[in-house]
Amino acid sequence: MTPEPEPTPRDWWKSAVVYQVYPRSFADSDGDGIGDIPGIRQHLDHLENLGVDVVWLSPIYRSPMDDNGYDISDYHDVDPSFGTLDDLDGLIADLHARGMKLVMDLVVNHTSSAHQWFQESRSSRDDPKRDWYWWRPARPGHTGGEPGAEPTNWGSAFSESAWTYDPGTDEYYLHIFAASQPELNWENPEVRQAVYAMMNWWLDRGVDGFRMDVINLISKVVHDDPPDLRDGVVGGPDRQAGPIDTVRFGDPGPYVLHGPRVHEFLQEMHQAVFAHRPAGLLTVGETPATTVEQGLLYTDPARGELDMVFQFEHVDLDSGPGGKWDVVPMTPADLMASLARWQEGMGDVGWNSLYLGNHDQPRCVSRFGDDSPEHRVRSAKALATVLHLHRGTPYIYQGDELGMTNAPFRDIHDTRDIESHNAYRAALSRGLDAEQAMAAIRYKGRDNARTPMQWDATEHAGFTTGFPWIEVHPDHVTVNVATQADDPDSVLAHHRRLIELRHQEPVVVHGSFATVPLDDDRVHAFVRRLDGRELLVVANLSSDDALEAALPDAADWLDAELVLSTAGQPDEQERIVLGPWEARVYRRG
């Protein structure tokens, strides 16, 4: 009699590794130069061989693609450029057949302005869906459409005003992102019920959870007396981190981030969509500008909101007072200190997502590591080692398992991203020259992560037989899956071993986390502990050679089992001395 399978624990995702697919850039099956769902289905061996448990699929819904799908015009259909609903059902079935899960991207803070809901809402002030969005008259004493007539001085994340005038109804509508991404009004219960119904529709179709786009923006601060929204602070020291240009606009952060009803809405969503379903689902909220305290509120299982969040503290470390495009230096020590803060902060109550890259961030090896030919492989491995062995659920962004690097954009014409194009124009209007404007985009631009996946060394890296929507990185001739698949020393093979370790070692999943303080801030160490089992992770996160990790009990650790190393078996040593980007993992107990 076959034994009953173990029931899936509610927190199954603690031992899982998630792989993010950006469909536009993963694999193109029909030669139109744009990645698609059949292309993903043709490359599932890569994901299965890597050993990941969950695929997070960035948006594939019908969309005008102003923001590459984060502007949805129909939540119940797949955009023809990506395929069909049948293709998606096929992908779900394929993944399940391989023991993997599919998490969809849920973009419900805003829709596309092409969505039927918004078309109805803008049709007249009396339309039943008018209150599904945020409409406001011109600022008192001003005529709609005139400069300065916007209801508030808020800036958008894409370097423009957060308000767009609609001559048809002589009012403005709110959008924290592009003008074609109007904010949904979650104060309206009809909006919330429509969203929950859509989520249940996808879960009933076999989807295993959601990554929720800017979910901490859904509740806005609306004042009663006088009724309405207030201007934000222009400039000023305590601006909220992120892309808002507060040199020209007011900061909407205090009025749109972590609003007064955000937890109420998430708890209501949990009851309406997840609470009645068996274990086996995953929810992760994207929550820019979130503190540890807020992170705990969102992820404490007792509160019934989210399993984990993507917080931005470590990806805003190189953002200066002027925001995202005001690039300031940061060090691996800053990164490790930020990660440790969240380890301690989440403790045994909350839960961390672990990520260094995604479709909004530049390539992690270029940003946090050293992507020079001499150090790229080791630093990609070292960064992955320290990230994956922290306490939390690791996320691999497509291509980071190969150590893909930032793209050599010559000028703005090499880029495609609305955020970069708007920031570039804004920079020129502030008097910067093209090179100065491009410098920040080369370093921080999102297109760095959106160049096609590098499958092999052929002309378009095996991504397409047509012409790619954005140029393939020239280093694809050496940095690609085909070259790394059977190379035991490759970045890919190292990711496989890290995932194996998480699947085999409970201490990696459930162990406590403790930083081991060291004098040299280029060298970092932490210990994971569980039931007498200990794992030491020690790493030189610099390109400098022969740095000692002067742990008090180094000699004992040198006698322990070396489980993993980014530099092969070290020679006999009395002390732990590490080469450039050398990371080691020791185990005892």
Site string for ligand TEU, 25-64 (x = CB under 6 A): ----------------------------------------
Tell me the per-residue interface mask from 87 to 126 with ligand TEU, x by CB under 6 A, - otherwise.
--------------------x-------------------
Look up residue 577 and give its two tokens.
């001395």
Rounded CA gap, 193 and 201, in Å? 12
Binders in 219-258 for ligand TEU, by CB under 6 A: 242-243
DSSP assignment letter at 578 = E
Query: 213 or 401: whose CB is closer to ligand TEU?
Result: 213
413 φ/ψ sector (left φ>0, alpha ψ -120 to 50, else beta): alpha
| Structure token pair of residue 343 | 């380890």
DSSP, res 20: E
**CB of 29 or CB of 422, closer to ligand TEU:** 422
Nearer to ligand TEU, 158 or 581 (CB): 158
Strand order in the sheet with 54-57: 308-310, 282-286, 209-212, 101-106, 54-57, 18-21, 393-397, 353-354
Angstrom distance (rounded) from CA 61 to CA 81: 10
Q: Site for ligand TEU (CB under 6 A): which residue of 36, 67, 87, 534?
A: 67
Strand partners, 135: 173
Residues facing 223 on adjacent strands: 228
Angle between helices 262-269 and 189-204 (to 10 degrees): 40
Determine, following the binding rule CB under 6 A, whether residue 213 of this chain makes contact with ligand TEU: yes
Q: Which of 155, 253, 288, 511 binds ligand TEU (CB under 6 A)?
A: 288
What amino acid occupies position 253?
G
Nearer to ligand TEU, 67 or 505 (CB): 67
Residues 152-171 that bind ligand TEU (CB under 6 A): 157
Residue from the set 24, 324, 473, 494 that interacts with ligand TEU by CB under 6 A: 324
Q: Name the minimum Å distance from CB 391 to ligand TEU.
A: 24
Pick the catalytic residue from 208, 286, 313, 400. Answer: 286
Verify binding: residue 308, ligand TEU, rule CB under 6 A. Answer: no
CB 26 within 8 A of CB 398: yes
Q: Is 92 helix (H, G, I), strand (E, B) or coil?
A: helix
- Binding residues with ligand TEU: total (CB under 6 A): 16
Residues 515-574 that bind ligand TEU (CB under 6 A): none
Burial (CB < 10 A; 0-12, 13-18, 19+), residue 329, is exposed
Look-up of token digits 């404490």:
300
Query: In the complex, what is the shortest distance from the CB of residue 441 to ligand TEU, in angstroms, rounded to a whole number?
Result: 11
Residues 56, 172, 177, 255: which binds ligand TEU (CB under 6 A)?
Answer: 177
Is residue 238 flagged as an active site residue? Answer: no
Q: Residues 435 to 464: which contact ligand TEU by CB under 6 A? A: 446
Q: Which amino acid is at 286?
A: E
What does the block give as tokens for 315? Answer: 């990806």
* Among 183, 213, 371, 417, the one annotated catalytic: 213
Interacting residues with ligand TEU between 417 and 436 (CB under 6 A): 419
The residue nearest ligand TEU at its CB is 70
Residue 270 CB partners (closer than 8 Å, separation 6+): 304, 305
Closest CB to ligand TEU among 182 and 243? 243
530 - beta bridge partners?
533
Identify which of residues 298 and 581 has a Cβ nearer to ligand TEU in the complex: 298
User: Coil, helix or strand for 527?
Assistant: strand
Nearest approach in angstroms of CB 229 to ligand TEU is 20
- 72/541 with CB nearer ligand TEU: 72
Check if the beta carbon of residue 509 is closer than 8 Å to that of residue 528: no
Compute how many other C-beta atoms are within 10 angstroms of the C-beta atom of residue 130: 18
* CA neighbor of 105 nearest in space, from 135, 128, 78: 78
Q: Cα(381)–Cα(507) distance, rounded to whole angstroms?
A: 21
User: Closest separation between CB of residue 324 and ligand TEU, Å?
Assistant: 5
CB atoms < 10 A from the CB of 224, how many?
Answer: 6
Minimum CB distance to ligand TEU, residue 146 (Å): 28
DSSP string, 489-516: TSHHHHHHHHHHHHHH-HHHHH-EEEE-
Q: Specify the residue, 108 or 472, whose C-beta has the smaller distance to ligand TEU.
A: 108
Q: Which of 78, 214, 382, 507 binds ligand TEU (CB under 6 A)?
A: 214
Residues in the chain: 589
Minimum CB distance to ligand TEU smaller for 406 or for 566: 406
How many CB atoms within 10 Å of residue 509?
18
3-state helix, strand, coil in the chain (%, to 5): 35, 20, 50
CB of 445 to ligand TEU, least distance (A): 9
**Smallest gap, in angstroms, from Cβ of residue 249 to ligand TEU?**
15
Residue ranges of the alpha helices (H) in 361-480?
A: 364-367, 376-388, 418-429, 434-444
Site for ligand TEU in 345-404 (CB under 6 A): 359-360
Q: How many CA atoms lie within 13 A of 183 on its CB side?
A: 26
Q: Is 213 tagged catalytic?
A: yes
CB of 446 to ligand TEU, least distance (A): 6
User: Is 66 or 305 the residue whose CB approaches ligand TEU more closely?
Assistant: 66
Q: Does 316 bind ligand TEU (CB under 6 A)?
A: no
In the complex, least distance from residue 292 CB atom to ligand TEU, rounded to whole angstroms = 18
288 versus 357: smaller Cβ distance to ligand TEU:
288
CB of residue 225 to ligand TEU, shortest distance in Å: 32
- Residue 462's contacts (CB-CB under 8 Å, 6 or more residues apart) are 27, 454, 455, 456, 480, 481, 482
In the block, tokens 């470590």 appear at 314
Rounded least distance, CB 171 to ligand TEU, Å: 23
Catalytic residues: 213, 286
Which residues contact ligand TEU by CB under 6 A? 67, 70, 107, 157, 177, 213-214, 242-243, 286, 288, 324, 359-360, 419, 446
